[in-house]
Amino acid sequence: MKAILLAGGKGTRLRPLTLHTPKPIVPIFDKPFLSYQIGLLKQLPEIDEVILSLNYQPRRLEETLGDGAGLGMKLRYVVEPSPLGTGGAIRYAAQGIDDTLIVFNGDVMTAVDLAAVVRQHQARQAKATIVLTPVDNPSAYGLVECDDDGNVRRFLEKPSADEITCDTINAGIYVLEPGTFDRIPKDTPYSIERAYFPSLVARGETFCAYVERGYWIDIGTPEKYRDVHKDIFDGRCPLGPAGIASGQPVVSPDARVEAGAVLDGPCFLDAGVVVKAGARIGPYSVLGRSVLVEEDAQVSGAIVWPNARIGHDAVVEGALIGRSCYVGKNAVVGPAAILGDKTTLSDFTRA
């Protein structure tokens, strides 16, 4: 069995953070996002290879994840010649494969029981299985409607109130049989959601749903990117670094917190972080590798990527700070701020 991770998106909603860091490898605490999906796939020992379908900045992903040895999973990279849509990308990446495929969208954070999904798929001898997740506000999404036996019957794109018949949406996780890919045109943009899945329904093929009622989030917006960190801190998402949901500061043994600095948990300090005397790190703060927080600075609820520097007496609250940024002394950076890599804010700036 093999897996395909659709990791070709440009992450436009997360810009400027994704100008130099493709969305699939934005850091979640101390690890690139895709490492969480790869960790989930390791639930299934029968998966012998993970194929990453790439388009945007493929070299950056390969440099970050390597051959997978450090993740305990063999990785292979396939670069689309041009954007092919979700269906086209799957067919292109699956060339020569006859085994059952697990497919993940490259922005889904979840703790789904993949083994249970595969067992259901096999028991039903399905051509395809789609994982669904319930939502509180069905009118804001495209819904997937099933019958009482869990067969997918209809897709409803952002229905009006009188059209809502369910609360389940596409969770971006699929089990697929490559024998059905003949309907996907070669080298042509094609949507698995809008064309391939409806074709299964139209042909009366066995197309099943698995409803996941555990944790699920799409990390693709700044708000959701912040939310996933908070959810891990609060224990709603059962992933992340060891001890992270304890409510206490989690500090790498290779970080240095000077006497007189204050850490208010929950917060996270990665390896190489230095927090100078008089500085305060507030709840829900994430300081990436080798971040420097200078004397009397305050950081609260912010996510700060590696090698950034927060100047003397600066205040950073709820912001997203990219790699190697510099926030000058006495600067004030608010929760609406998103600073791309290597941004410099001069002293006394208000952002």
Domain CATH number, residue 264: 2.160.10.10
Does residue 232 fall inside a structural domain? no
Beta strands per DSSP E along 198-328:
207-211, 216-218, 249-251, 256-257, 262-263, 267-269, 274-275, 280-281, 285-287, 292-293, 298-300, 303-304, 309-310, 315-317, 320-321, 326-327
| Claim to verify: residue 166 and residue 252 sit in the same structural domain | no
For residues 91 and 167, state if they share a domain.
yes
Nearest to 50 by CA among 71, 27, 29: 71
* Token pair of 112 as six digits: 């789904």
Dist CA 327 CA 348 (whole Å)? 9
140 band by pLDDT with thresholds 50, 70 and 90: low
pLDDT on residue 33: 93
For 192, the domain range is 2-218
Q: What is the mean pLDDT of residues 273-298?
A: 97
- Polymer length of the chain: 351
Q: Which residue has the higher pLDDT, 140 or 289?
A: 289
As a whole number, the mean pLDDT across the chain is: 91
Q: Are residues 176 and 96 in the same domain?
A: yes
Residues 43 and 186 in one domain: yes
Count of domains forming the chain: 2
Asked whether residue 253 falls in the same domain as residue 209, the answer is no
Residue-level pLDDT at 160 = 66
Q: Give every CB contact of residue 184 below 8 A, 6+ residues apart in sequence.
A: 87, 88, 90, 91, 190, 196
| Coil, helix or strand at residue 179 | helix
Is 53 part of a structural domain of the chain? Answer: yes
Q: Are 183 and 201 contacting, i.e. CB atoms less than 8 angstroms apart?
A: no
**pLDDT tens profile 1-15:** 999 999 887 878 899
pLDDT value at position 330?
Answer: 96
Question: Cα separation of 14 and 23, whole Å?
Answer: 8
Residue ranges in the chain assigned as alpha helix (H): 33-41, 58-65, 85-93, 114-124, 197-202, 222-233
Q: Answer yes or no: do 205 and 261 share one domain.
A: no
Count of CB atoms within 10 A of residue 70's CB? 9
pLDDT score recorded for residue 182 = 87
Q: Which residues contact 58 (CB under 8 A, 6 or more apart)?
A: 77, 79
CA distances to 13, 193, 228, 281 from 251, in Å: 31, 42, 19, 12
Structural domain contains residue 213: yes
Share of the chain above pLDDT 90, in %: 65
- One domain, residues 68 and 210: yes
> What confidence category does residue 43 fall into, taking pLDDT thresholds of 50, 70 and 90?
confident
Q: Which position has the higher pLDDT, 179 or 290?
A: 290
Of residues 143 and 87, which shows the higher confidence score? 87
Given this model, what pLDDT does residue 158 score? 67
The predicted model scores a pTM of: 0.91
Are 212 and 265 members of one domain? no
Cβ contacts of 57 within 8 Å, gap of 6 or more: 20, 22
Same domain (yes/no): 60, 124: yes
Residues 90 and 8: their CA atoms lie apart, in Å, by 11
Any domain includes 57: yes
What pLDDT, on a 0 to 100 scale, did the predictor assign at position 56? 84
pLDDT at residue 208 is higher than 90: yes
- 146-150, 286-290, 307-311, 312-316: least confident range: 146-150
At residue 159, the pLDDT reads 64
Residue 192 has pLDDT above 80, yes or no: yes
Token pair 């801190």 is found at 233
Q: Which residues pair with 218 in a beta bridge?
A: 108
Residues 186 and 46 placed together within one structural domain of the fold: yes
Q: Is residue 39 part of a domain?
A: yes
Q: What HEC string does 64-124 produce?
A: HHCCCHHHCCCEEEEECCCCCHHHHHHHHHCCCCCCCEEEEECCEEECCCHHHHHHHHHHH
Shared domain check, 258 and 114: no
- Of 218, 237, 269, which marks where a domain is finished? 218
Q: Residue 322's closest CA among 339, 334, 309?
A: 339
Q: Is 223 part of any domain?
A: no
Which residue did the predictor score with more confidence, 138 or 262? 262
pLDDT exceeds 70 at position 139: no
Q: Which tokens go with 154?
A: 């209809």
Greater confidence (188 vs 312) lies with 312
Terminal-to-terminal C-alpha distance of the chain: 49
Domain assignment present for residue 241? The answer is no
The reply to whether 141 falls in a domain is yes
Specify the CATH number for the domain of residue 105. Answer: 3.90.550.10
Pair 117, 183 in one domain:
yes
Distance in angstroms (rounded) separating the CA atoms of residues 298 and 332: 10
For the stretch 83-133, pLDDT in tens is 889 999 999 999 889 899 999 988 889 989 999 999 999 999 999 999 999
pLDDT tens for each residue of 216-245: 998 989 999 999 999 999 999 988 898 898
pLDDT score at 166: 74
